[in-house]
Structure 1
Amino acid sequence: MKKGKGMKFVGDSRVTADKQKFIPKDYSEYPGRTEAFWPNFLLKEWLVGAVFIVGFLCLTVAHPAPLEKLADPTDTAYLPLPDWYFLFLYQLLKYKFASASYFVLGAIVIPGLAFGALFLAPFLDKGKERRPHKRPVATSLMILSFVAVFWLTYEAAAHVDWEAKAENNKPEPPSTVEIDTSHPGYAAYENSCLQCHGGELEGGPAAPSLIGIERSVDEIKDIAVNGIGNMPPDQFQGTEEELQQLAEFIVSVNEQE
Structure 2
Amino acid sequence: MAHHHDNDKEIHYVGDSRVVQKTERLVPKDYSEFPGKTEAFFPNFLLKEWMVAVVVLVGFMALVMAEEPPLGAQADPTNTGFLPVPDWYFLFLYELLKFKWASGPYVVVGTVIVPMLAFGSLFLVPWLDTGKERRPMKRPVTIGIMFLALIGSVVLTWVAWDEHEKQLASLPKGEAEAKIVDQKDPAFDIYKNNACVNCHGQKLEGLQGPPLRGVGDAYTPDEIISIMNEGKGKMPAGMFQGTALEKEQLADWLAKQKTGRKMSEEQ
TM-score by length of 2: 0.56
Q: Deviations along 1:51-108, whole A, 9 cap, x unmatched?
A: 1101101111121221122223332211111111111111111222222332222222
What is the CA–CA distance in structure 2 between the aligned matches of 1:110 and 1:47, rounded to whole Å?
Answer: 35
Structure 1 contact 216–251 (Cα < 8 Å) conserved: no
Give the equivalent residue in structure 1 for 2:201.
Answer: none
Give the equivalent residue in structure 1 for 2:31.
Answer: 27
What is the CA–CA distance in structure 2 between the aligned matches of 1:167 and 1:76, rounded to whole Å?
Answer: 11
What is the CA–CA distance in structure 1 between the aligned matches of 2:137 and 2:130, rounded to whole Å?
Answer: 14
Structure 2 contact 73–177 (Cα < 8 Å) conserved: no
Alpha carbons of 1:202 and 1:19: their partners in 2 closer, same or farther (altered >3 Å)? closer
1:65 is aligned to 2:69: yes
Out of 38, 41, 61, the position equivalent to 2:45 is: 41
What is the CA–CA distance in structure 1 between the aligned matches of 2:63 and 2:30, rounded to whole Å?
Answer: 41
Give the equivalent residue in structure 2 for 1:86.
Answer: 90
Give the equivalent residue in structure 2 for 1:185.
Answer: none
Structure 1: runs of 5+ lacking an equivalent: 1-9, 178-198, 218-247
Structure 1 contact 98–104 (Cα < 8 Å) conserved: yes
Matched residue pairs, number?
193
Give the equivalent residue in structure 1 for 2:55.
Answer: 51
Q: Counterparts of 1:144-223 in structure 2 under 5 Å?
A: 144-161=148-165, 168=178, 176=196, 209=215, 213-214=219-220
1:16 to partner: Cα distance: 6.6
SS at match of 2:110: helix
Structure 2: runs of 5+ lacking an equivalent: 1-8, 14-19, 170-174, 181-191, 198-207, 241-267
What is the CA–CA distance in structure 2 between the aligned matches of 1:144 and 1:110, rounded to whole Å?
Answer: 14
1:109 is aligned to 2:113: yes
SS at match of 2:72: coil
What is the CA–CA distance in structure 1 between the aligned matches of 2:124 and 2:22, rounded to whole Å?
Answer: 43
SS at match of 1:161: helix
SS at match of 2:113: helix
Give the equivalent residue in structure 2 for 1:74.
Answer: 78
Give the equivalent residue in structure 2 for 1:194.
Answer: none
SS at match of 1:25: coil
**More divergent stretch after superposition (61-70 vs 81-90):** 61-70
Give the equivalent residue in structure 2 for 1:127.
Answer: 131
What is the CA–CA distance in structure 1 between the aligned matches of 2:227 and 2:136, rounded to whole Å?
Answer: 74
> What RMSD, in angstroms, separates the aligned Cα atoms of the two structures?
4.2
What is the CA–CA distance in structure 2 between the aligned matches of 1:202 and 1:158, rounded to whole Å?
Answer: 29
Letter in 2 for 1:19: E
1:159 to partner: Cα distance: 2.7
SS at match of 2:64: helix
Structure 1 contact 93–103 (Cα < 8 Å) conserved: yes
Give the equivalent residue in structure 1 for 2:147.
Answer: 143
Alpha carbons of 1:75 and 1:83: their partners in 2 closer, same or farther (altered >3 Å)? same
Give the equivalent residue in structure 1 for 2:184.
Answer: none
What is the CA–CA distance in structure 2 between the aligned matches of 1:31 and 1:144, rounded to whole Å?
Answer: 36
Task: Specify the structure having the higher radius of gyration (Cα).
Answer: 1
Letter in 2 for 1:107: T
1:17 to partner: Cα distance: 8.4
SS at match of 1:168: coil
SS at match of 1:126: coil
Alpha carbons of 1:57 and 1:47: their partners in 2 closer, same or farther (altered >3 Å)? same
What is the CA–CA distance in structure 2 between the aligned matches of 1:80 and 1:87, rounded to whole Å?
Answer: 11
Q: Counterparts of 1:8-19 in structure 2 under 5 Å?
A: 11-14=10-13, 19=24
SS at match of 1:114: helix
